[in-house]
Amino acid sequence: MKRRVVITGLGLITPIGLGKQAFWEAIQRGEGGVGPVTRFDASRLATRIAAEVKNFEATDFIDRKTARRMDRFTHFGVAAARMAIEDAQLRLEEEDRHRIGVWVGSGIGGIETYDQQHRILLEKGPARVNPFFIPMLISNMAGSQIAIEFGLRASNSCIVSACATATNAIGESLRILQRGEAEVMLAGGTEASLTELAFAGFCAMRAMSTRNEEPQKASRPFDRDRDGFVMGEGAGVLVLETLEHAQKRNARIYAELVGYATNCDAFHVVQPDPKGLGAARAMREAIADSGCQLTEVDYINAHGTSTDLNDQIETEAIKQVFGEQARKLAVSSTKSMTGHLLGASGAVELIASTLAVVHQWLPPTINYENPDPACDLDYVPNQGRPSRIRYALSNSFGFGGHNATVVIRRWEET
Active-site annotation holds for 303? yes
**Helix, strand, coil percentages in the chain from 3-state DSSP, rounded to 5:** 40, 20, 35
120/99 Cα distance (integer angstroms)? 42
Residue 28 sits at the vertex; the CA angle it makes with 162 and 212, to the nearest 5 degrees, is 55
Residue 352 φ then ψ, to 5°: -60, -40
Question: Nearest to residue 142, comparing CAs of 312, 344, 303, 304?
Answer: 344
Residue 238 sits at the vertex; the CA angle it makes with 98 and 270, to the nearest 5 degrees, is 110
What is the three-class DSSP state of 138? coil
Active-site annotation holds for 163? yes
Taking the CA of residue 398 as centre, how many other CA atoms within 13 Å lie in the half-sphere pointing to its CB? Answer: 27
Question: Nearest to residue 325, comparing CAs of 358, 374, 360, 292?
Answer: 292
Question: Nearest to residue 46, comparing CAs of 271, 216, 218, 202?
Answer: 202
**Alpha-carbon Rg for the chain in angstroms:** 20
Q: Hey, how many other C-beta atoms are within 10 angstroms of the C-beta on 9?
A: 24
* Burial class of residue 205 in the structure, from the number of CB atoms within 10 Å of its CB (0-12 exposed, 13-18 middle, 19+ buried): exposed
* Burial class of residue 325 in the structure, from the number of CB atoms within 10 Å of its CB (0-12 exposed, 13-18 middle, 19+ buried): middle
| HEC profile of 34-94 | CEECCCCCCCCCCCCEEECCCCCCHHHCCCHHHHCCCCHHHHHHHHHHHHHHHHCCCCHHH
Taking the CA of residue 11 as centre, how many other CA atoms within 13 Å lie in the half-sphere pointing to its CB? Answer: 29
The single residue of 75, 245, 340, 402 carrying the catalytic annotation is 340
Active-site annotation holds for 340? yes
The single residue of 75, 158, 163, 375 carrying the catalytic annotation is 163
Q: Hey, how many other C-beta atoms are within 10 angstroms of the C-beta on 94?
A: 7
**Contact criterion met (CB below 8 Å) for 74 and 110:** yes
The single residue of 75, 203, 292, 303 carrying the catalytic annotation is 303
Find residue 86's DSSP bridge partners. Answer: none
Q: Please give the positions annotated as active site.
A: 163, 303, 340
